[in-house]
């Protein structure tokens, strides 16, 4: 399985997604600030993977701490939580993972554990978050495979694969599970401007697995859908609101509107940790805005004239009314989402309210 992120000998090691597909390089983070920088700069990206990285970064910080006593350690730990929380505001898995680590930290302090024991508790907790994420992706992939036709043509947007998670993937987990069942799946991958996650990452992942993949520009999705060359759309998510509105990479809303116009089912694949029942609707989801340079340049080459104004939101919100189903490890949630999402969270053993 593609090693997106791992704990290795007291360091957090992650594949540098900025350099793919040209170079398979790895970044070794030895401090929590290096982990936070890796998240902000998109060395690692994708909501579940960001959550795993933050958890490992917190464990790394406590393990490296020279604090004398639990009070000093707690002060350091909660400052690190603030550092991680400030990296990327839209991906709710980030905040979910931080809360998980806070709970484990508080429990260890209440139990009277030493700083060294607390550190090892958090390392184990972070690794468990990683392993649970992979298991969730495989479970949701198995549910999602049911909606893929025997010879299915699937359109994706952005990268919701192993690179965006602890491993296996969400939207691409659905594809992988369908292929494992013997289905003949062909994927059309939107290149996903301006950061090109579809062209650089989705195509790279799928070709590694021997899955037929065609890269298209974002503006080519409409004609494909119109001409009946797509059977279903499957995308990932960075946050799912209580009413079923979904924040995902910018351009997802456009694909959803096109799919509805051409009667092609549009599915979202996301673990329960991406559901935020405390966010009522998509209008309440904070949308990250990123550097102008991602739009004005391709690599080091400027493609837009100096002085042009730039609007670069990283995400948009797709209304629940455009979504056929939200695929989770607890099954496929269907409208009315207010009920089905809450039921999925309850089956998973948590309210998903933050």
Please give the positions annotated as active site.
238
Contact call for residues 329 and 143 (beta carbons, < 8 A): yes
Q: Which long-range contacts (CB under 8 A, 24 or more apart) does 215-222 make?
A: 215/189, 215/191, 216/188, 216/189, 216/190, 216/191, 217/190, 217/191, 217/193, 218/157, 218/190, 218/191, 218/192, 218/193, 218/251, 218/254, 221/155, 221/157, 221/188, 221/190, 221/254, 221/255, 221/258, 222/258
With beta carbons less than 8 A apart as the criterion, state whether 173 and 209 touch.
Answer: no
Is 187 within 8 Å of 154 (Cβ atoms)?
yes
In three-state secondary structure terms, 228 is: coil
Distance CA 104, CA 98 (A): 10
């Amino acid at each position: 399985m593609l090693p997106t992120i791992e704990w290795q000998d007291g360091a957090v090691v992650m594949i540098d997604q900025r350099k793919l597909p040209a170079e398979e390089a790895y970044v070794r983070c030895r401090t929590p600030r290096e982990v936070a920088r890796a998240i902000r700069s998109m060395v690692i990206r994708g909501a579940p993977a960001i959550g795993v990285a933050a958890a490992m970064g917190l464990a790394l910080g406590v393990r490296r701490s020279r604090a004398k006593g639990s009070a000093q350690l707690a002060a350091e730990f909660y400052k690190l939580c603030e550092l991680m929380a400030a990296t990327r505001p839209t991906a709710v898995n980030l905040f979910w993972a931080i809360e998980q680590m806070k709970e484990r930290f508080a429990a260890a302090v209440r139990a009277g554990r030493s700083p060294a024991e607390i550190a090892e508790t958090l390392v184990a907790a972070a690794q468990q978050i990683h392993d649970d994420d992979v298991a969730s992706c495989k479970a949701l992939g198995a549910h999602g495979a049911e909606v893929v036709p025997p010879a299915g043509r699937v359109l994706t947007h952005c990268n919701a694969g192993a690179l965006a998670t602890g491993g296996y993937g969400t939207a691409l987990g659905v594809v992988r599970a369908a292929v494992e069942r013997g289905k003949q799946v062909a994927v059309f991958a939107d290149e996903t401007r301006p950061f090109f996650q579809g062209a650089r990452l989705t195509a790279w992942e799928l070709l590694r697995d021997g899955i037929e993949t065609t890269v298209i520009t974002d503006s080519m999705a409409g004609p494909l859908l119109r001409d009946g060359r797509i059977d279903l759309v499957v995308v990932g998510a960075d946050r799912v609101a209580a009413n079923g509105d979904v924040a995902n990479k910018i351009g997802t809303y456009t694909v959803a509107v096109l799919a509805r116009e051409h009667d092609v089912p549009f599915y979202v694949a996301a673990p329960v940790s991406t559901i935020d029942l405390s966010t009522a609707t998509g209008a309440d989801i904070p949308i990250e805005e990123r550097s102008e340079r991602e739009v004005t340049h391709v690599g080091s080459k400027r493609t837009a004239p100096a002085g042009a104004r730039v609007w670069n939101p990283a995400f948009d919100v797709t209304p629940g009314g455009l979504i056929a189903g939200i695929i989770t490890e607890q099954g496929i949630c269907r409208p009315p989402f207010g009920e089905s999402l809450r039921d999925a969270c309850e089956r998973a053993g948590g309210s998903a309210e933050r």
